[in-house]
Structure 1
Amino acid sequence: MKANKASLGYFIDYNMWKDSNNLQEKKIELMEENSHFVTFNVNYFRNIKNSLRRLYSSKCYFNSRISNNIFYDLRNEYFIRKYALPKNIYGIRDYSFISYGLNLIHNSIGLYLLKITDDFIYNYFKKIETIESFYGGSIRYQNNKINFSQDNIYYRNEYKKFRQILTTHTKDKTDYIVIRLDIQNYFDNLPVENLLEYLQETIKPNDKVEHNYDENTIKEIETFYKFIMNNKKGIPQIDNCILSAFMGYLYLCFLDLKVDSLMKSLNYKEYKIIRYMDDIYIPFKPKETSDNSQSIKEAVEILGKIKDIAFYDFQLHINNKTKIYNLSSPKEKEEFFKDTKNESVIEYLDVPIDLGDETEDSDGHEQTIKKIFDELENIKNGGVNLEINHSDINQYILHKIFDRSISNLLNKNEYKLKIEEIFTNFNYDLLSVSPLVLTILVMKSDKTKEEYINYLLQKDISTSNARLLVIEALRQSKFNHTELFLKLYEDKHFKDVLLLYETTNLNYNNPGYFELSMQYTYKLLNNNPLIIKQMELRVLNEMRGDYSVALNHLVNEFQSICYSLNEKDIRNFNANSVEDFLKSASIEHSICIKIRNMFDRRNNNLVSHSGDENVQGTAVTRAEYTIYKEAVSMCLTRLEKFQTNQILTT
């Protein structure tokens, strides 16, 4: 059967849904061999029974819940919750804890965008010699097939390429200026509608036709991200989500092109645009290299133009972490390399890597370990001042622990004893200086591990900083520490996420549509695209808090359901028809009266009669709306019971 144009099934087919499942399963598989994939959300996916995960991957499931958009109001099964983690001592970053099914849909849309942009990315964008951009993955459809492996969904290789290219174009450039751009809260501010508009202008006409990329598809994708982002801009930042990374990368490809055109229009010949996700560097040779002040003036003028392009063309803000470095100054060059190693994209990655080339440590591994311990001593002696200012910490050295050889050496008894010595009388709050690295080190020794866990169990964890320390400790135990997990319940801002995390049966048989069984939900909604669309619009307006509009859609949805259930052929099925139908189904009078009042309230609503001067409409309040929605829920529950009994008696 041909999919309805106003649904995900119009542009996402079952093969892409299977690919989405395969990606999710690959991340679960990689948890055993790569700690990068041991994260809160991926561990939740792993805890879901294999039989249920297989059910999600089935064609029957895709057709009955996803391709027709029924999922929008199956709230017990499709959910997303925001939670905060510290960006540094001053900042907060929003992460999303997402349900299994909703993440599969997000993955599917990301894979669809990956597929339709393949020609643009590989046959146009990547052939531009002045642009080098990365997102930490290298997944690609070839001959309509895609494979996932540690090599193409784990960022290490791509990030190393980025570092090597950045080093090549700055290391020996004593006459260059570097502009480093930092975008404010990038994932939260990415305007999906702008991305889709740029794609509309970019994708070849034949590819649009082949993949159904038209206004219907654009509208469906926009609607999904309004839903998943609670009617706000952006895309979800989910731990370990390669497709969120790809979508973020894709949008900024168009910014890369604009900046490239800008540099060419200003007649610059020697420059490069080097980007990892939203971390952007533009090393260039100024026109005037003999006068430093003039060189900086050129950079400031370029930066001003780029800020305007980012704001007016991309709705993005360049924040105050943006910097200009004059590489002719040894001091500024040293600061540039320190910043790129210690700040840069490290804070965006779940598990930082060795930021330099493998051959950087000419002193050997033993010397590297000595530097790591020196850095730990600096942290121990630095005290609370380090919590305020992290710039004195050499993150580059600390992140050397992710080198396999270094990590293995640190497991030797002599180094475990050294770790125990350093962490004696240590202020464990200082682990927030580099939470992941320092948690790994403190847990190298059984003694310090036990001491640190006891410290966390006694700690007040009412802040996001403290919560992160507990989560990092849980990650090192692969989330198999009951006391630490229960500790998270003390954080009132995290309780909702934890309750969902522990619900791994997915409420498959009671997914949440007015608390009806799934069988009855199918009966009401399946093959009724008009009802589904009213439901979808109702949900979006509920999220927006626009209860006047939501009531209109609720009434239309309920009226259409009653019409579909009514066995009589009534041409003008109005409020009176609904009332008669409910009475015939023996719905109690108290509920019928509320439904009757709901229809009247819809009619006394300026949203319905905006041009009628005789109607004295008022806005529907949340409390009013809740009463009417509960009446609909009770009514549908009674109808399910009534019709089930009828079937049993016949």
Structure 2
Amino acid sequence: MRIELNAIQERASIYTYYGANIRLENPKGSQINYQEDYQEFTRNIRRAVRRQVQNHKVAVLHLDIQDFFRSIDHSRLMQVLADQALPASRLRLRYDEHTQLTIREILFLIMRRSEGLPISQQNIVSNLLSHLFLYPLDCCVREIQMESNTSLTFHRYVDDMFLTVQFPNVEINENIGTKMLDISTRIGEHLSSNLGLTLNPLKTRLDILTSEDEVDELIERSRLVSFYRPLPEEGGEPPQETLNRAILVLSTLREQFRQRGYIDRIATNDDLALKQCFQKAVVHYTRSEQAQQQLEAVFQDWHPALMSKSIKVLVFLISRVPTALNTLFAYVCEGLRNPQLSLTIVHLAEYLMLIEEYNGEFNNEVSHLLKTSSNPYTHLLGRLVNPLSPSSNRYINIEDSCLQAHRSIMQQVRRTIIAERRGVHGLAYNHLLNVLQEWCFCNQQSSVTRNHYDRNHVVNWLESIAGHSEIMFVITIFDRRNRNTISHPGDESIEIAPVNQTEYEEHLAKLNHLLPNFWRRLPNC
């Protein structure tokens, strides 16, 4: 394939990604990096827009293709691949008519029709094929750039596309809109006539930006923060400065609350600034005398109602300030005694019970709740107070010692319960599978990072402790999750196969039957 053109494209400010770097000439040298690619995709867009908005207007066109994966015609795909392959590559890879026919037959066997590519979580084959299928579009954008807009930048992660163009401040928005409509129309015509694809008018959006504040709003609205890592100009700094930025956010929240009595929401950039405190260097720095003095100052007279904003990082930071932490403990105790128990209080209690500084400050209140409440979330907290609770009181049948040792499992169980109680059974089903996957990850103690621990790792490990029928059930719930929600980066597609309450409860019961069996078969149990 014409991989050698990538460098030329990037020099022309055209950036394309698909979650991997497949090397056909050296397959062993291939790399799969969904997170890194999508991170670079979003970083490049943010960098381009922030650079272009300086003393200018910037038009940002977000393009979406209607039903992209299901609309790729197999015969057109084979032709596009043939056009992109150099003669020597076609000969070396034996990409002839027989190979093309074989690939089309395989795709037809999977899709049961002559259009579409299979969609599943982290499907690198479909990502690669669809990425190559849109290569003619990249060439079309390059032609548009050469003809009229040297400032144009184009960013594409498979079919998720952003196009930016810089305009003088004096240019009126009507003229900008007309020019961008011309570009959008030309791209739409190219997709239709050459690839048989259609732009989705409901999801294709134009933004005209004139300031940094508007750039921040675009970043937040367009989800350009996935796998966030700040640019140097956005705060990629040493730990002292990272904490300073977080403290500035906290001070602003506190002042807004004092003035208005409430905080509607926390801006995405502020939330991300707080989460940067989980970097190892910052965690270590928060134990220094200087950092603790800063935290004591910002948490003085801190109102507990603010804890619902970025709760995890706030609990972590406030745990470094004993006086503020004791005040928070007292607030939660009072809230747990309230007959009208709020979910926020229970949520906050969970996070506090899982930190090292918790010494049973409201164990009695939780124990009392267990006698008066049938809420499964309450019983989940009760298991942190009274280990060895009977299995009949467990929403998820995981041993208490395992639940207490691994906060990540606890959090997934909590998310499952909340989604189920809200009646969103499709989301609850996804979290239920996450519980199983996290349980396997923690008990296997895999050398693979959590972000790369997938279905194959789960199944391969369970083969040592599970029977064939149990393995097949695990594979089934993974497949069902993928038909319920498509969750790989850059794709907003959702297949119409929602999980209903009956199906969710059946799979929950089955999983609760299997987990104790898996636990008993672990070598260290």
Q: Which residue of 2 aligns with 1:194?
A: 76
Q: How many percent of aligned residue pairs carry the same amino acid?
A: 14
Q: Which residue of 1 aligns with 2:155?
A: 274
Cα 1:258–1:430 change in 2 (3 A) is farther
Q: Which amino acid aligns with 1:238?
A: S
1:218 equivalenced with 2:100 (yes/no): yes
- Please report the RMSD computed on the Cα atoms of aligned residues, expressed in angstroms: 5.1
Matches within 5 A, 1:232-243: 233-243=115-125
Q: Which residue of 1 aligns with 2:187?
A: 306
Cα 1:121–1:318 change in 2 (3 A) is farther
Which secondary structure does the structure 2 equivalent of 1:155 belong to? helix
Shift of 1:415: 5.7
Shift of 1:367: 3.8
Shift of 1:368: 4.5
The number of residues matched between the two structures is 354
Q: Which amino acid aligns with 1:245?
A: N
> TM-score normalized by structure 2?
0.52
Give distance in 2, aligned partners of 1:238 and 1:317.
22
Give distance in 2, aligned partners of 1:442 and 1:188.
46
Matches within 5 A, 1:80-479: 117=1, 120-122=2-4, 124-128=5-9, 129-135=11-17, 137=19, 139-141=21-23, 144-147=26-29, 154-155=36-37, 158-159=40-41, 162-163=44-45, 165-167=47-49, 169-172=51-54, 174-231=56-113, 233-265=115-147, 267-285=148-166, 290-314=171-195, 315-327=197-209, 329-330=210-211, 334-344=213-223, 352-357=227-232, 360=235, 364-370=241-247, 396-397=272-273, 400=276, 403-405=279-281, 414=319, 427=343, 445=355, 453=413, 456-457=416-417, 459-460=420-421, 463-473=425-435, 476-478=438-440
Cα pair 1:276 1:345 within 8 Å, conserved: no
Cα pair 2:58 2:208 within 8 Å, conserved: yes
Give distance in 2, aligned partners of 1:341 and 1:125.
29
Q: Which amino acid aligns with 1:259?
A: V
Give distance in 1, aligned partners of 2:124 and 2:173.
41
Cα pair 1:191 1:233 within 8 Å, conserved: yes
Cα 1:175–1:220 change in 2 (3 A) is same
Cα 1:364–1:324 change in 2 (3 A) is same
Cα 1:275–1:403 change in 2 (3 A) is farther
CA deviations over 1:503-532 (Å, ceiling 9, x no partner): 87779xx9xxxxxxxxxxxxxxxxxxxxxx
Cα 1:403–1:301 change in 2 (3 A) is farther
Give distance in 2, aligned partners of 1:260 and 1:289.
26
Cα 1:369–1:263 change in 2 (3 A) is closer
Give distance in 1, aligned partners of 2:321 and 2:439.
18
Cα pair 2:246 2:274 within 8 Å, conserved: no
Cα 1:457–1:257 change in 2 (3 A) is same
> TM-score normalized by structure 1?
0.43
Shift of 1:257: 1.1
Give distance in 2, aligned partners of 1:429 and 1:191.
53
Cα 1:298–1:473 change in 2 (3 A) is same
Larger Rg over CA atoms? 1
Which secondary structure does the structure 1 equivalent of 2:26 belong to? coil
Cα 1:196–1:445 change in 2 (3 A) is farther
Cα 1:320–1:246 change in 2 (3 A) is same
Which ranges in structure 2 are unaligned for 5 or more consecutive residues?
Answer: 287-312, 336-340, 359-380, 382-406, 444-457, 473-525
Q: Which residue of 1 aligns with 2:303?
A: none
Cα 1:179–1:342 change in 2 (3 A) is closer
Give distance in 2, aligned partners of 1:142 and 1:157.
24
CA deviations over 1:218-245 (Å, ceiling 9, x no partner): 2222222333345474333433444443
Matches within 5 A, 1:544-563: none
Which ranges in structure 1 are unaligned for 5 or more consecutive residues?
Answer: 1-116, 432-437, 482-497, 511-650
Shift of 1:345: 5.2
Cα pair 2:47 2:231 within 8 Å, conserved: no
Matches within 5 A, 1:484-503: none
CA deviations over 1:293-352 (Å, ceiling 9, x no partner): 22221112222222232334331433423222223x33xx63344323453355xx6xx2
Give distance in 2, aligned partners of 1:281 and 1:169.
15
Give distance in 2, aligned partners of 1:443 and 1:235.
46
